[in-house]
């Protein structure tokens, strides 16, 4: 009975979450549609105003040209700053990260050599001795008379 209640609770939470997501999506779509309509109305009103006042339109055009020139200047400066930062990053990678990677590779090579040395000089002899002892023990078991487990 408790499992059914738990399943019903989970299912109701799932449907509530789905309804909430659907409601949020509808609100966002409605907001986007209203924003696009407001933009279209604004453009239409601006065009009508410009057609009715040509002198004011020329002044606005001149101001927009000046702002565009200043914006182009700022973008140029930001691009120069970006190029300088890329050059610094390249220098960092070449002069600091590459030596670290080389040192790490050298350390890994040393570690490989150490493990190979330990394997050859420590592990293999121990394995050989253990296998020899197992062979001797098995041979002794074969030679020894069988003990009777029945007493």
d(CA 10, CA 16): 10
Q: What is the mean pLDDT of the chain?
A: 86
Buried b (16+ CB within 10 A) or exposed e, 109-138: eeeeeeeeeeeeeeeeeeeeeeeeeeeeee
pLDDT of residue 7: 63
Query: For residue 68, what pLDDT is reported?
Result: 96
pTM exceeds 0.75 for this model: no
Q: Are 20 and 27 in contact, with CB atoms under 8 Å apart?
A: no
How many C-beta atoms surround the C-beta of residue 50 within 10 A?
14
pLDDT for the residue numbered 5: 67
Q: Does residue 97 surpass a pLDDT of 70? A: yes
pLDDT of residue 108: 93
Write down the pLDDT at residue 43: 92
- Please state, in angstroms and rounded to a whole number, the distance separating the CA atoms of residues 114 and 21: 59
The residue to which tokens 């509808």 are assigned: 26
Averaged pLDDT for residues 118-132? 87
pLDDT at 149 over 80: no
- In terms of average pLDDT, the best of 53-62, 75-84, 112-121 is 75-84
At residue 63, the pLDDT reads 94
């Amino acid at each position: 009975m408790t499992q059914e209640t738990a399943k019903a609770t989970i299912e109701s939470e799932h449907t509530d979450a789905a309804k909430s997501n659907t409601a949020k999506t509808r609100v966002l779509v409605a907001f986007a549609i209203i924003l696009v309509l407001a933009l279209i109305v604004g453009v239409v009103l601006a065009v009508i105003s410009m057609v009715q006042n040509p002198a004011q339109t020329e002044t606005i055009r001149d101001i927009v040209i000046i702002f565009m020139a200043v914006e182009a200047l700022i973008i140029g400066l930001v691009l120069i700053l970006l190029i300088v930062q890329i050059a610094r990053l390249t220098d960092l990678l070449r002069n600091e990260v590459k030596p670290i990677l080389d040192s790490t590779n050298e350390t890994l090579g040393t570690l490989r050599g150490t493990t190979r040395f330990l394997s050859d000089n420590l592990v293999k002899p121990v394995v050989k001795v253990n296998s020899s002892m197992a062979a001797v023990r098995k041979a002794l078991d074969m030679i020894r008379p069988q003990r009777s487990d029945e007493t």
